Amino acid sequence: MLYRFIDLFAGIGGIRTAFEPYGECVFSCEWDVKAQETYEANFGHKPVGDIRTVNEKEIPDHDILLAGFPCQPFSIAGVSKKKSLGRKHGFLDETQGTLFFDIARIIKEKQPQAFLLENVKNLRSHDKGNTFKVIKKVLEDLGYTVYSEVINARGLVPQNRERIYIVGFKKPLKFEFPIIPKEGPPLHTILEENVEEKYTLSDKLWNYLQAYKEKHAKKGNGFGYGLADLNSYSRTLSARYYKDGSEILIPQGEGKNPRKLTPRECARLQGFPDSFKIVVSNTAAYKQFGNSVAVPVVSLIAERVVQAIERDELLEEKLEEGRTCDKIIRSV
């Protein structure tokens, strides 16, 4: 069976790439203009812009909602006060003004069979846990059985990258997240053979980064550049990589300064195929891949989501903590 899905906060389409084997994307939304360019070059259509202006009633019907949404602060602290004043409260009020609100209103209107949301690991602890508490409550109040897990991608790509994945089903379906290997491919497997000299750090920048690290080391801080072990995995690729590449530097042997990853290597580090088109400037590409998901992780989750829908096995008992199942895979 093929499934209709929508791609919200789509970025450059990493989550979509993972779900494409299972169906058709019928709607996408992404506000960043440069990301829209990359998305259109690879998928043949330009995403809608600001999700806040999208009428949920006009979104096509779909089976699965996908969203790599930004984390914004909100709290349920004001609910009791609103009750005392006789004012309405609920998911619309609790999340108003946040981008998660837009996901909630679309889910409420379209009632997809399932959803997958992705965010930074720290979503769990943000605002002393209140942010995640609201998110779970909202999704459960909308009638969904919710599972969440923090997964490290480094067993599939050579990068230490922890993200939280939230899966929900309209039916109380049995679901288990995939087991990710602890050890994955080494960093040297994603490197290009011939790299232009422009990616090598200048003497000025390299001297600055070394001095900066030394200064903080004397204070007992771990700030500074990261010289990667080519036989292991890298630090987390971030959207700021375009600035100086300091979190992941590639050694080039004695007498030569280290270099930055190329945009294509960043794409590989996130698990994108080499057929994925990079049509923007290096600066924009670094930001886009730094903000993206690790595609192989989402691919395994996508497979499990589809399997759960097709098996249609219902939970026999209520899950602990309402209808939510949480699990954390910690770094080792």
Give CA separation, 80 vs 83, 98, 133, in Å: 5, 20, 16
Assess contact for 63 and 113: CB atoms under 8 A: yes
Residue 264: the pLDDT is 98
Catalytic residue, chosen from 25, 71, 266, 325, is 71
Structural tokens at position 59: 């979104």
Residue 73: the pLDDT is 60
Q: What gap in Å lies between CA 131 and CA 128, rounded to an integer?
A: 8
Assess contact for 138 and 95: CB atoms under 8 A: yes
Q: Provide Rg for the chain, Cα atoms.
A: 21
Which neighbouring-strand residues pair with 29? 48
Helix or strand holding residue 100 (H, E): helix 100-110
Question: Which string of DSSP letters, residue by residue, matches 196-221?
Answer: -GGGBPPHHHHHHHHHHHHHHHHTT-
Assess contact for 178 and 300: CB atoms under 8 A: yes
Enter the pTM of the model: 0.87
Q: What gap in Å lies between CA 82 and CA 231, rounded to an integer?
A: 56
Helix or strand holding residue 296 (H, E): helix 295-311
- Reading the chain (332 residues) residue by residue, the pLDDT tens digits are 899 999 999 999 999 999 999 999 999 999 999 999 999 999 999 999 999 999 999 999 999 999 998 766 654 444 344 344 444 444 445 555 588 889 999 999 999 999 999 998 888 888 788 888 889 999 999 999 999 999 999 999 999 999 999 999 999 999 999 999 988 999 999 999 999 999 999 999 999 999 988 887 777 666 678 899 999 999 999 999 999 999 999 999 888 999 999 999 999 999 999 999 999 999 999 999 999 999 999 999 999 999 999 999 999 855 544 455 554 443 33
Domains within the chain, CATH numbers bracketed: 3-180+294-328 (3.40.50.150), 187-291 (3.90.120.10)
Q: Is 325 a catalytic residue?
A: no
Buried b (16+ CB within 10 A) or exposed e, 171-182: bbbbbebeebee
